[in-house]
Each structure stands twice: as structure tokens, then as C-alpha cells.
Structure 1
């Protein structure tokens, strides 16, 4: 058996996150392949599923903050898109589509009110949807939402290496739908990821293969239920309950996968990570 498949002892670390209750969730427009305004949505079911995710985080000892939802912004539940927070600096979001653009100022207001140093973006970006901290490096997605010039802005702001990855499959339009960070804390030795190879162009794949030779490669079926749109603390990984092979792979590597059902929020194109914005002070 290859060494990479041997379970190792992993230690969880505390996470601090921001979430938004989906009180106004519905699908009334189409800005990604998952959305179909002709399909009925159940807001009360979305709230119940979200509350399960919220309680899962609380039970894991996460510090969970809440931003008030705003009527008329049904996608505000996808808090990860609201910005990128590192070193107590909150880089605000500037959304591609007009339907979501008011979310950017709303999240920046929350950051200010809660003591973060807010940086208003000069370039189009959708926050942690496309920016993932892996160890001391930031992986940054482009191709559908965040503009590549936001990556340079990010690098200058945080003084960290930013690696650009181009997404090529419209169903995986944010980086956090195609990559899961398994070892999230800065300074972690040899941090690892899981990813969907078909979501990236050849140049991006070469980068991922070289930098993360022991990465978990997730199959198309698990990716199709946004199995990679997951969030963890270095040991516990909260994932889509239907991503069963990903669950198996995580267990083999010594992680503790915890499945939750966010099927209603999937109708808007979001999953576990989409609902979760990490606050790093």
C-alpha cells in the first residue's frame, strides 16, 4: 500500500467563521449552471439544512459569527464569496453579476463593524470562493468569476505568494468547488488538498501535480454534488453527505469526514464551503 494512503494522526485546530442564515434563499435568476428559476425551492428546508451545518460547526468547537441576511439578496447565504480575511485584513468582494453586487458592501460593513481592516477591492473578485489559503500560499482561481488582476492585488495586500489557477468547467466556476483544503492552518508542514482534475486547464494541472503530489483526486460523481466544497479543521472535514467515495478517501488519510445534506442550497450552486467564510485574525 502506498505511504500516502496510510492513515496518520491528525490534530484539529480551532476555526473562526462567518455565516449567513438563508432566510431569503430562493432561485429567481440564473448566473451559474446549477440554478434554474423554473425549479421550485423550499426556503424553510434550506434554513433547516443550514442550521444542521451551523450546529455541526458549534459542536466541533468552531467560533461562529453571523451576518444578518438582507431581503432581495438570496445568495447572501454563500458567505465565502463575501471576502477574504487574513492577518485581520478583510479584502472585500466585487461581484461579477449585478444580482450579487450589493453583497460586497454588506459584507465589508460587517467586517468594519467587527474590527477588521477593510480593503475595498479595485478588481472583480468573489472572495474565498476563488481564494484558498493552503499553508502560507494562496491558490487563486480565475476563468469565470474573479479577474486574474485581483490575484496581483491580493499578493500585494498580504505579501504572500499567490498561485493562479484557471478553471475551465462552468459547473465548477469557483475554485472552492474544485479544490478542498485539507490542512488549512498557516505554517502547517506539507499542507495537502483534494481536487477535481477536469476542472483545470493543463497548465493549472501541472502546477497542482507538482505542488501537491499526494493530493486526493476526487471523482466526477462526488464533485457533481459539490463534494469538494468542504471545510475542515485539519482533522474533521465537513463534506456533502452524498460524496461517499471522497468520504472513504478522507478516512484512509486519517481525517474524520462529517457528511451534511445541503441539497436545497445546491440548487443555487453552493455547498458547505460556500456557506463558510473563515475569519483569520
Structure 2
């Protein structure tokens, strides 16, 4: 048998951790390794050469997990239900404490309540091959897996945030340089439009006043002369009396 590579060794550690939970068992649907409890999957894992891919249900830390550069919502609509998938190109990239905390959260979300009740309270420790879930763990055993997961998450996201800030600064500066002349040109155009509109309105008013003065004069010239009133119907116009001849 060929020797295990480093990624397969990491997978073995995570597999052993997942199987340490009450009622957890292993299955291989579609050729992928699946960790189940009560016949429901709480962890998928696949290894392809040096690459490791895994998926877990994270109802509480989904948003924080998706800020990491190696994660994405799980396909086939599972992302809407809180499932997150992580891709690692090599074993050195796998933050084992973080993944163990994810396994704990996913198990608690999938397992029946009677099995979850056997686990220690969240924020104390996560069960593992060397610990018994039914017994409390002494505080002297160190920081909890949740605290370690938070520290690892902050460590992983720190360079991403730093790079984003570094990129954002020149982008904002360049945008400011582009926007300034545009605003100046827009202000100039608006001023020119207002000035042209004001001149046009003034000219229209002037023409209107000139037209108003000419209209009464033209109306007088066009007005018709009055005709003599026609006689009323049924009445005869009296004949003019004959003029008498002058005596010489």
C-alpha cells in the first residue's frame, strides 16, 4: 500500500475526531466519506491527491466562516440551510482547530437532543478520542475549542482584511480624481444651461410685449364700417315727396 500523504493524515485526524461523538458512524454515499448520526450526515470529506474538501452545517457561525478565503456556500441548495464547504490545496492550509469546532457545531445541529445532551456545554471543550463526552473536563486542560477556533479564524482573516484595506485606499484615491473633474464639468454645463434658459425667457417676454402693442393697431385697421340698418320686414319705406319746380 502506498504511504499516506500529509493531507490523508489530516483527514484521518478529523475522521477520528468526528467518530468520537455519541452515535457517530461512517458511510460512503456517492463514493464520498460521510460522517453520520442517526443516519443523517453532519460532515462530508473528500481527498484528491493533496487536496482536501469538506462540508459541515454551521447554523451559528456560517457568516463568519464564509469570510474566510477558502470557503463557499455548499452546492445543491444546501448553502441556504447553513452548510459551508471548505477547499484546501495542501495539508498545511487546514486549520485543524477550526475544523474541529465546525464538526462540533454541525454534529449538535444534526444529532438528536438525547445525544447532544451527553456532550459538555458549548464553550468548554469539544469531545475527542482521548476524552469522554459524558464527563465534565477540567478547566486546566486549556482554552476551549471555540476559543481556539476564534483565534484561528482571526489569524486567517487578518491578512485578507489587510490586503483589502491596502487595495481599497488607491481605488478610493483614483475614484476621487475621476469624480472631481466630472463634477466640475457638470457644474459648468448646468450654469451654461441656466444662463441660456434665462436669455431665452427674456427674449420671449420682449417679443410678447412687442406683439401685444401691435395687435390693437392692426385690429383698428381691419375693423369693418357700419352699414345702414335694413327696414323691418312688413313695413314699406315711404316714398320721397316729389320736389316742386322752382318758378323763374
Question: Given the two structures, how large is their TM-score scaled by the length of structure 2?
Answer: 0.24
Which protein has the bigger strand share? 1
Question: Is the helix fraction higher in 1 or 2?
Answer: 2
- TM-score, scaled to structure 1: 0.22
Higher relative contact order (CA 8 A, sep 6+): 1
